[in-house]
Structure 1
């Protein structure tokens, strides 16, 4: 019996996003009728000889086969993949052990020696370093471009350009990429467009609807939403995802565990309500910060002061839960947030149900992660100056968050 046949749940009409987060890919247990998804912990599955589905060229469509081995497909992980595909308006999805593993799956499955990758000049550090430091060792050319400037994108395209990797909003600047405009450029030239939409989530933006070919997420962040499980995914057309699955899903070994898939699905149940609540709170906090005399700059897509606010309104249904801001005495503010806040945890990462704060020094990021041209550096500093506080707003009462920020900023 094909893997997907156990996991589909027929509906007679299109479902809303809140319903999809709960029900997409979900099927009651055929024996117990349990409503909650099972955790299929077995690594091995019994099968009948001849059902393996292998060919001389490698592995066939794994999702059309019986479940065989958890390193390739797993019932719990497959439920998660189907739910993500439904949320992102795609045919299929591949779940991986982390967000960086999902990007690696795309890069190493779709690029070969002699190909050219265009990468957002500012994006998640792990993906930036993977592309800049590892792909050239395999003969892949990499260029970094400010993807908010379409003229720069067109100028960077070469005859061997095969893929553009974008991130919107990007980490940590919260700069946006016009995905509709970029998608028109890539489609006209036969170039694939992959968009890391971790910061937006499908509640705010569905990149496939705007012209992307693939959507990447770190499921560790908002999709899981509880800070207790790592995961990643890439979603897109069936043929493209299957190409990635048959290569990276089998040979790179970045398999998502059934336990983590179950935890992430539990988080997805509340994704819509969490994102709506956190986005509303973030807007309240950002408005407060913008008016504070100790704050020299605030970047939040929901504020009219954001350099791309009009694009945010057109491209994002919610402005999101992330804020960056600058102050004149960051070291003192960081210490007070780390030692005296009752609501913010001073920690890396984002998307937790609890609010997180961290100070990101521009020079530290340049030394460890980003290699920017003088023009790219000037644009980075336009958003970030010498460094920014990045707030990931959680589910606390926003007035309590503001109280702690006031203490940190005014002491």
Structure 2
């Protein structure tokens, strides 16, 4: 059965149908899961990644798999990319991107605030490979320009930045990257594929931890890199197949199912987060709230221009947050005190600034000051789920009431 594709389709239609067709054998409407590790091969078929290409038949799931292919096609449509490569985790995707672009003697410019594992890897593993790394505050594009060298191969941003929700002007830095002949990658996990489109703003790559908003249900780990067909083919052949950080077909199926409702969920995440953020901003025990959808966000003008959805991520601060964390964790009943984000369930976790600076972020005094301007002595990172906002407010009200 051939896929019937209209010239232009709506977002919900693409989220549901992109990459999927009814099964030609069973005529099943919903996509199935192909869990086989091996596929029947013709005699004489090559079993070398050197011969891998678009026309290579299914042979071994580490190479490619029908269920993973469906997810990659859906992601590419949602992100407006030529192609996507899925991985077993967001960190596997980030690692593949770095290994594909960087070799000994190259230079990487990366945000001084990024996902903790990314920060730690670029502090330790990447420099051990003979790659020099410069970390800059990317809220000011001129910091990026000033950090560039003739051998700067890759610029890597994260926006909104985890965990402080500081923003990067993607379009401005994309222009700087082009001037220098550098590639530009953006981790847009906090925003989701519906919140920002880095490729349309000039980036070469976009990365997503599929574990978060794309899956949306907190039951499958995955990651993806998206970009042009040539680079994705190189990442697939040169890194994914050889290092083996591939996505399980079962997880691909779960994430694909989650992606089908992404437009509806992101609208609800944004609506709920704004209501909760406004409540927290007015609460006498909350000293500060950071949410891109609030006028009080230091970069609200950039957020309004660049973000198509403000997402469900916010932070808030209270006096003596470390002590308050124990009280809040004990008194919450709907919101789970847990790591991760982007799930249907609301999640909150306290992140001490001193602890983050000790373990994940190696900063200059000026960079630390910029971090503290968003985080103070510590933040509660709150991922607003899909529960009724008034129930979340009641839960937070009770939890905050326990703080002396």
> Which band: TM-score by shorter chain?
over 0.9
Q: Does 1:230 align with 2:221?
A: yes
1:11 pairs with one of 5, 13, 22: 5
Q: Tell me the residue number matched to 2:82.
A: 91
Q: Tell me the residue number matched to 1:146.
A: 137
Q: Tell me the residue number matched to 2:65.
A: 74
Helix, strand or coil at the partner of 2:358: helix
**Cα distance between partner residues in 1 of 2:230 and 2:4:** 22
Q: Tell me the residue number matched to 1:40.
A: 34
Q: Tell me the residue number matched to 1:187.
A: 178
**Cα distance between partner residues in 2 of 1:127 and 1:49:** 43
Q: Does 1:271 align with 2:273?
A: no
- Residues 368, 194 of structure 1: CA spacing in aligned structure 2 closer, same or farther, 3 A cutoff? same
Q: How big is the shift at 1:286?
A: 0.4
Unaligned residue ranges in structure 2 (runs of 5+): none
Deviates more, 1:319-328 or 1:14-23: 14-23
**Cα distance between partner residues in 2 of 1:24 and 1:265:** 10
1:213 pairs with one of 204, 209, 213: 204
1:390 pairs with one of 369, 381, 387: 381
Count, aligned residues: 402
Unaligned residue ranges in structure 1 (runs of 5+): 1-5
Helix, strand or coil at the partner of 1:194: strand
Do 2:273 and 2:313's aligned partners in 1 also have CA atoms closer than 8 Å?
yes
Do 1:17 and 1:203's aligned partners in 2 also have CA atoms closer than 8 Å?
no
Q: How big is the shift at 1:51?
A: 4.2
Do 2:150 and 2:180's aligned partners in 1 also have CA atoms closer than 8 Å?
no
Q: Tell me the residue number matched to 1:3.
A: none
Q: Tell me the residue number matched to 1:302.
A: 293
Helix, strand or coil at the partner of 2:193: helix
Q: Tell me the residue number matched to 2:328.
A: 337
- Residues 61, 193 of structure 1: CA spacing in aligned structure 2 closer, same or farther, 3 A cutoff? farther
Deviates more, 1:8-17 or 1:292-301: 8-17
**Cα distance between partner residues in 2 of 1:257 and 1:88:** 21
Q: Does 1:134 align with 2:128?
A: no
Q: How big is the shift at 1:111?
A: 0.6
Q: Does 1:21 align with 2:12?
A: no
Q: Tell me the residue number matched to 2:24.
A: 30
Q: How big is the shift at 1:142?
A: 0.5
1:49 pairs with one of 43, 48, 65: 43
Q: Tell me the residue number matched to 1:251.
A: 242
Do 1:26 and 1:79's aligned partners in 2 also have CA atoms closer than 8 Å?
yes
**Cα distance between partner residues in 2 of 1:63 and 1:338:** 50
1:166 pairs with one of 149, 157, 166: 157
Do 1:281 and 1:398's aligned partners in 2 also have CA atoms closer than 8 Å?
yes
